[in-house]
Amino acid sequence: MVSAEIIVDTRRKTKQGYPIKIRVFKSGEGHKYISLKVYSNTKNLKFTPFLNKRALQLEDEVNYCNENNFDFKHSLQILKHGIDKNKELEIFLLKQKIAELEKSSSIGMIEFSERLIKEREASNFSTRDLKDGIREVRNFVYPKDDIGINEITFEWVNNYIVHKRAAGANDGGISYYLRTLRSIFKESQKRESLNIKNGNPFAGHRVNRKNSKELEVPTIEDVKKLFDFKPRLGTTDLSKFKMQRNIDIWLFQFAIGGHDYIDIGMLRWESVTDRIKFKRHKNRRKPQGGRTVNNFLSKFALEVIEKYGTPEDERVFSWIENPKNTYKNDAFRRTVGRSLKRVSETLNLSVSISTKTPRYFFRTNAGELLIDIGVTYQILAHKSRETTFVYQRTLPNEIIDKEHKKVLNLIFDKEMI
């Protein structure tokens, strides 16, 4: 609250007398003086017609400042120049009014996210990121139930980052949440009926998405040890079977060109002939689903399909939790990851393998064999952002398969290829 009074400043006397001023107070911010450019010959204030009029005006100005909840700076401007004579204040008031209207008309971040979830579920798209985003917003704005999308500012995002870092989150995790919240914000801007403000409050924050740590990839000698794996004494028959199955699927991922475990779980029988053809799950929202995987099947890969395949089901490996059920599939992959870690420890590998490692291993060794990057990208179904590749057609199978086999030759015997 702002308060003000007219006083005689008795601290010093000028040739004209003691200055008469307005003394302005605001709790926690001290006081300031505004000169009225009139003077008094005595230390006691004597009201003149001018000062009576100014005192009445001052009362109106103080009430106006407090009713509009102005800060100290803008209150001083009002008390100095008056209510109707300050262009800077007029601009400030208009901006404040716009901000208030935006807040009152803005849909909540959580409310809009829940709407997006329903839209994605209707299209059979993953909603995991949206649910993660809702959880983050709900935790951060508590005890409020939601926050209007138009209320999200650069400062709000910055405070969120500080909050996450204080809670022990690293930049990789923070980056994931920021990308998720930004995508929700950007999606809301496309809906004209929601009247979402322009701009991007998620831009300009110093959060590193990439891990500066060098990528750790197992050696060729490490991977060759997988063929001679022997479980530790006391391991149950069921655990032995699952560990060997996990090893074989890891090698299968590598054998078909270093593809993700989620794509193995999604793989359908119509995708398997003498070749393997599918769209990567990661690219499901891209036009036409992104680049098509179209790789040859080695003898080893065919043996894995025959050994672990489930021809009674639409999916080739239906014992893998259906990736459409995000949380069950995540839990299943974590179990597989723990199993592969035990395998790594038993074999004393230099780097623990995981369900993601086959892609790193394939890409790294293709590079070390100096295989053309365009060929590697086609095998991985990875699209380069470089303009050069826009002008290149899809390479024929004979070229792709020849280079693919060069990589497989590093760990498989010829009869397995």
Q: How confident is the model at residue 188 (pLDDT cuts 50, 70, 90)?
A: very high
Dist CA 347 CA 350 (whole Å)? 9
Reply yes or no: is the peptide bond before residue 287 cis, omega within 30 of 0: no
120-135: per-residue pLDDT in tens? 888 877 788 899 999 9
**Which of 59-68, 177-186, 273-282 is the least confident region?**
59-68
Q: Could you state, in order of their start, the residue ranges of all structural domains in the chain? A: 2-105, 109-194, 220-416
**Which of 161-165, 177-181, 324-328 is the least confident region?**
324-328
Output the CA–CA distances (angstroms, integers) from residue 156 to 120, 165, 207, 243, in the order listed: 27, 14, 15, 47
- The pLDDT value recorded for residue 19 is 95
| The two structure tokens encoding residue 5 | 């009074």
Do 186 and 200 meet the contact criterion of CB atoms below 8 Å apart? yes
- The pLDDT value recorded for residue 69 is 81
154-165: per-residue pLDDT in tens? 999 999 999 999
**Which of 145-159, 252-266, 276-290 is the least confident region?**
276-290
- The pLDDT value recorded for residue 122 is 87
- The pLDDT value recorded for residue 348 is 95
Q: How confident is the model at residue 73 (pLDDT cuts 50, 70, 90)?
A: confident
| The two structure tokens encoding residue 282 | 């990661």
- The pLDDT value recorded for residue 117 is 93
- The pLDDT value recorded for residue 208 is 76
Q: Is 152 a residue whose pLDDT tops 70?
A: yes
% of residues, the chain, pLDDT over 70 = 91
Fold of 220-416: hpI Integrase; Chain A (1.10.443)
% of residues, the chain, pLDDT over 90 = 67
Q: Is 302 a residue whose pLDDT tops 70?
A: yes
- The pLDDT value recorded for residue 387 is 40
Contacts 24+ apart (CB under 8 A), 98-105: 102/148, 102/150, 102/151, 102/195, 102/197, 103/148, 103/150, 103/151, 105/150, 105/195
Do 313 and 267 meet the contact criterion of CB atoms below 8 Å apart? no
380-400: per-residue pLDDT in tens? 998 765 444 455 568 999 999
Contacts 24+ apart (CB under 8 A), 390-398: 397/275, 397/294, 397/296
Mean pLDDT of 320-339: 91
Q: Are strands 18-26 and 31-40 parallel, antiparallel or unpaired?
A: antiparallel
Mean pLDDT taken over the chain: 89
Give 53: exposed, middle or buried? Use CB within 10 Å, 0-12, 13-18, 19+: exposed
101-120: per-residue pLDDT in tens? 655 556 899 999 999 999 98
Q: Is 30 a residue whose pLDDT tops 70?
A: yes
Dist CA 332 CA 336 (whole Å)? 6
Q: Is 86 a residue whose pLDDT tops 80?
A: no
H or E element, residue 73: helix 72-81
Mean pLDDT of 247-261: 97
Please tell me the pTM assigned to this model: 0.64
Q: Is 363 a residue whose pLDDT tops 50?
A: yes
Q: Is 15 a residue whose pLDDT tops 80?
A: yes
